[in-house]
């Protein structure tokens, strides 16, 4: 029999009277029919089921038939109050959420896909399409715990704050305020146990807010004070009164969310509504440090609060005060927890290790919390583990590095000389100690694996000094100049690695051929070949490491850096920032696209063309823009990394042709690409011969599909 679902989308077995996850009563028949499962919208999105319904409209789980039936969410714009002002205002807010989501690229924010307009049964409908997050809201998690007499623990709350504050730091850095943080708008993602921030712009409240304004004003014009968004009790007073929002507004709402998770009480039960003082301490006991942090986040006066997420993080972890937060990736769709790093079996070290900071305490999560080994929190934990990594340095100092997986990072070097003991660090001058400490801080900030970092710098250092390959530099004065050169090399390498996304940096040392196979599958889904992907990765990699052009380096430590750049370009293609489909306007035989490529940048265009069409391609750009053209099967290369500005070809195949432009310039460069495809002319009619025609020969060549 069919499964039953509550209004929040939780699945329950047939015959259930109440939701097994949140306790909500399950109705035998849905309140409203909505769009029926199985219907395809926009020739692409197949409706699976309705996830929920509110004043704004319905939310549906769908499958994207253009991406191998990948799950996604469709949010329908259908406000309950259908007046001209309400419709106009709600659509304005809906468009705003779409524009906000479009520019946000973070692994803990659902990726925006498109704004879909369709005609459904004679009615114009608007849908926001974004990634589907498999998991539960924190409100649902709290309700499940309350049924067992449980609440969230302080350790879990600290973990949540450490994982979510960097997300707020990111959105605030790009000028976005969430404005509606609450347990309903936080989800615990099942695949990696990370909190995910959803519903930017207050989607669930739009229609109710607009309708309220409409009835208060009694007219079809917008109120002078603008649109007020935010949940009562969660949003700070000034936000609800004036609509004004700042970074500290989100911090206030986050603190209220924390109190709700800790106490199981709603905000109205925890605040004195007369003087707006929070009375939460009678409900739960927490450490004095966390209590003071929450009180400051909840200050009635905005000026008394923490002003940035960074300040809250520093209060939670004073040891990170001198370390800037790692920036999130520019284009990074949600993904499972990364594969653990292989344990090195050997290590060749070219220099003595930097002086290590004192060990810091590590917070151990409870089973319900997310793992501390996550993208947003790994930097904090790395501070604590760096001392241990430094001690491991000495254990590996006499060995050679090797990772026991085929086609992964492989290094080979002679056995080094006798290892050195940690106390020899005292031989370093104050200047050298300071230099090594800065390198240590920078590596941790970039979240790069310690052992991989040493292998990479060793490789580059030895390539500059081949006579020293395999030699371990001593702590004495004789090798002081060489140690300085190694440190300078390390500094340069770290700055070049900063061009990678944080996720790619974190995975350096773990990429394998299996990862490349996965990337091929991903781009093939959108009719892009791996060669186009690699062209983009090559351009970005060679911008930072031009000395490796034409060399075979995939199995060397530097090969991992190439993998990191390719991984970032994959995400850029999948998010459409480095990918575009060329569609000729109706009745026309060509189209021109243009743009600006940053240094090392690139973009892939595809166009569906027919066999035997006459293709003409023209690119207006400097010779530093290279052009490649690949056939649908990949068997024919029309152009590759070429400075040729025009090309004319008769197409050998039917399908999607790929046009790749990459920049080798040191500054941004404009380009204009024109693609024209004409059908071959019809053969002119000939007179019928008077003699009896002979039988036509059977063609022997099989056409390419």
* Dist. CA 602–CA 533, nearest whole Å: 10
701, pLDDT greater than 80: no
Residue 221: CB atoms within 10 A of its CB come to 10
* Dist. CA 631–CA 589, nearest whole Å: 19
Three-state secondary structure readout of 601-642: CEEEEEEEECCCCEEEEEEECCCCEEEEEECCCCCCEEEEEE
Read off the pLDDT of residues 168-204 as tens digits, 9 standing for 90 and up: 999 998 888 888 899 999 999 887 889 999 887 544 3
Of the pLDDT bands very low, low, confident and very high (cuts 50, 70, 90), residue 226 is very low
698, pLDDT greater than 60: no
218, pLDDT greater than 80: no
Mean pLDDT across the chain: 76
- H helices of 498-623, where? 502-506, 513-524, 530-544, 557-574
Of the pLDDT bands very low, low, confident and very high (cuts 50, 70, 90), residue 615 is very high
Read off the pLDDT of residues 127-151 as tens digits, 9 standing for 90 and up: 888 889 888 999 999 999 999 899 9
* Dist. CA 110–CA 133, nearest whole Å: 7
Cβ–Cβ under 8 Å, residues 675 and 591 = yes
Enter the DSSP assignment of 149: T
Read off the pLDDT of residues 262-298 as tens digits, 9 standing for 90 and up: 999 999 899 887 777 899 999 999 999 999 999 999 9
Q: What is the mean pLDDT of residues 539-564?
A: 94
Cβ–Cβ under 8 Å, residues 379 and 445 = yes
* Dist. CA 566–CA 182, nearest whole Å: 37
Three-state secondary structure readout of 476-505: CHHHHHHHHHHHHHHHHHHHHHCCCCHHHH
Q: What is the mean pLDDT of residues 676-696?
A: 62
Read off the pLDDT of residues 290-349 as tens digits, 9 standing for 90 and up: 999 999 999 988 899 999 999 999 999 876 654 444 444 333 333 333 333 333 322 333
pLDDT of 162: 92
pLDDT of 356: 34
Number of H helices, E strands in the chain: 16, 22
More confident residue, 451 or 675: 675
705, pLDDT greater than 50: no
pLDDT of 517: 87
Read off the pLDDT of residues 88-105 as tens digits, 9 standing for 90 and up: 776 676 677 666 667 788
pLDDT of 202: 43
Considering the candidates 180, 199, 487, 538, report the single residue annotated as catalytic: 180
180 catalytic, yes or no? Answer: yes
407, pLDDT greater than 70: no
pLDDT of 364: 29
* Dist. CA 163–CA 373, nearest whole Å: 10
Helix axes 378-396 and 450-464, enclosed angle (nearest 10): 60
Cβ–Cβ under 8 Å, residues 704 and 615 = no
Percent of the chain with pLDDT over 70: 69
503, pLDDT greater than 50: yes
Which residue is associated with the tokens 């500094």?
491
158, pLDDT greater than 60: yes
Read off the pLDDT of residues 346-385 as tens digits, 9 standing for 90 and up: 233 344 333 333 333 332 233 333 333 344 343 333 333 3
Pairing of strands 45-53, 40-41: antiparallel
Q: Who contacts 473 (Cβ-Cβ below 8 Å, separation ≥6)?
A: 350, 351, 352, 479, 482, 483, 486
> Where is average pLDDT lowest: 71-80, 397-406, 510-519?
397-406
Read off the pLDDT of residues 22-76 as tens digits, 9 standing for 90 and up: 666 665 544 446 788 889 998 899 999 988 776 567 889 999 988 778 889 998 8
pLDDT of 21: 60
pLDDT of 512: 85
pTM over 0.85: no
> Where is average pLDDT lowest: 54-58, 120-124, 363-367, 543-547?
363-367
pLDDT of 471: 80
* Dist. CA 455–CA 401, nearest whole Å: 8
* Dist. CA 109–CA 609, nearest whole Å: 36
Q: What is the mean pLDDT of residues 571-592?
A: 93
Which residue is associated with the tokens 């063309």?
609
């Amino acid at each position: 029999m069919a499964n039953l679902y509550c209004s929040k989308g939780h699945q329950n077995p047939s015959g259930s009277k109440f939701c097994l996850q949140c306790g909500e009563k399950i109705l035998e028949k849905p309140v409203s029919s909505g769009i029926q499962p199985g219907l395809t919208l926009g020739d692409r999105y197949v409706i699976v089921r309705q996830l929920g319904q509110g004043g704004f409209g319905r939310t549906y789980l769908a499958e994207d038939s253009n991406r191998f039936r990948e799950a996604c969410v469709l949010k329908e714009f259908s406000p309950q109050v259908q007046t001209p002002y309400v419709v106009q205002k709600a659509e304005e807010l809906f468009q705003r959420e779409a524009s906000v989501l479009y520019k946000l690229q973070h692994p803990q924010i659902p990726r925006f896909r498109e704004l879909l307009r369709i005609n459904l049964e004679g009615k114009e409908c608007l849908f926001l399409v974004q990634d589907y997050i498999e998991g539960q809201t924190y409100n649902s998690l709290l309700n499940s715990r309350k049924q067992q007499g449980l609440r969230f623990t302080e350790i879990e709350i600290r973990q949540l704050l450490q994982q979510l504050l960097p997300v707020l730091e990111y959105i605030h850095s790009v000028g976005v305020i969430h404005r509606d943080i609450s347990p309903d708008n936080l989800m615990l993602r099942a695949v990696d146990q990370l909190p995910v921030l959803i519903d930017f712009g207050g989607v669930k409240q739009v229609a109710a807010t607009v309708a309220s304004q409409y009835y208060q004003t009694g007219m079809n014009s917008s109120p002078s004070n603008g649109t007020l968004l935010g949940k009562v009790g969660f949003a700070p007073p000034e936000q609800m009164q004036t609509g004004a929002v700042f970074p500290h507004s989100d911090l206030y709402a986050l603190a209220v969310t924390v109190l709700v998770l800790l106490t199981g009480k709603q905000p109205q039960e925890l605040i004195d509504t007369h003087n707006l003082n929070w009375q939460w301490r009678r409900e739960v006991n927490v450490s004095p440090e966390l209590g003071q942090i929450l009180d400051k986040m909840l200050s009635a006066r905005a000026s008394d609060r923490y002003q940035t997420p960074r300040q809250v993080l520093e209060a939670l972890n004073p040891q990170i005060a001198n370390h800037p937060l790692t920036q999130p990736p520019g284009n990074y769709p949600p993904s499972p927890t990364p594969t653990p790093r292989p344990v090195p079996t050997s290590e060749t070290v070219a220099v003595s290790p930097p002086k290590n900071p004192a060990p810091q305490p590590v917070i151990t999560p409870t089973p319900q919390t997310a793992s501390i080994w996550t993208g947003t929190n790994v930097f904090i934990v790395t501070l604590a583990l760096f001392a241990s990594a430094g001690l491991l340095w000495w254990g590996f100092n006499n060995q050679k590095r090797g990772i026991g997986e085929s086609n992964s990072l492989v290094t080979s070097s002679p056995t080094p000389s006798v290892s050195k003991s940690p106390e020899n660090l005292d031989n370093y001058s104050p200047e050298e100690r300071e230099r090594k400490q800065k390198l240590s801080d920078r590596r941790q900030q970039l979240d790069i694996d310690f052992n991989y970092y040493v292998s990479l710098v060793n490789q580059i250092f030895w390539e500059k000094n081949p006579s020293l390959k395999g030699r371990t530099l001593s702590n004495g004065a004789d090798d002081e100049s060489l140690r300085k050169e190694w440190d300078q090399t390390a500094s340069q390498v770290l700055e070049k690695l900063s061009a990678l996304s944080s996720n790619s940096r974190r995975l350096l040392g773990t990429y394998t051929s299996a990862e490349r196979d996965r990337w091929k599958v991903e781009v093939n889904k959108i009719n892009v070949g791996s060669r186009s992907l690699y062209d983009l990765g090559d351009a970005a990699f060679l911008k930072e490491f031009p000395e490796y052009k034409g060399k075979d380096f995939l199995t060397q430590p530097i090969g991992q850096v190439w993998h990191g750049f390719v991984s970032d370009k994959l995400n850029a293609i999948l998010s459409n920032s480095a990918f575009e489909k060329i569609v000729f306007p109706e009745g026309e035989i060509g189209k021109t696209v243009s743009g600006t490529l940053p240094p090392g940048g690139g973009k892939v265009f595809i166009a569906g063309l027919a066999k035997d069409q006459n293709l003409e391609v023209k690119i207006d750009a400097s010779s530093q823009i290279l052009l490649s053209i690949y056939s649908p099967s990949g068997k024919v290369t029309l152009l590759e990394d070429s400075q040729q500005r025009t090309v004319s070809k008769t197409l050998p195949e039917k399908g999607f042709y790929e046009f790749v432009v990459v920049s080798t310039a040191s500054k941004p460069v404009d380009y204009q690409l024109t693609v024209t495809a004409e059908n071959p002319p019809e053969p002119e009619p000939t007179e019928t011969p008077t003699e009896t025609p002979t039988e036509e020969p059977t063609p022997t060549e099989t056409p390419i599909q």
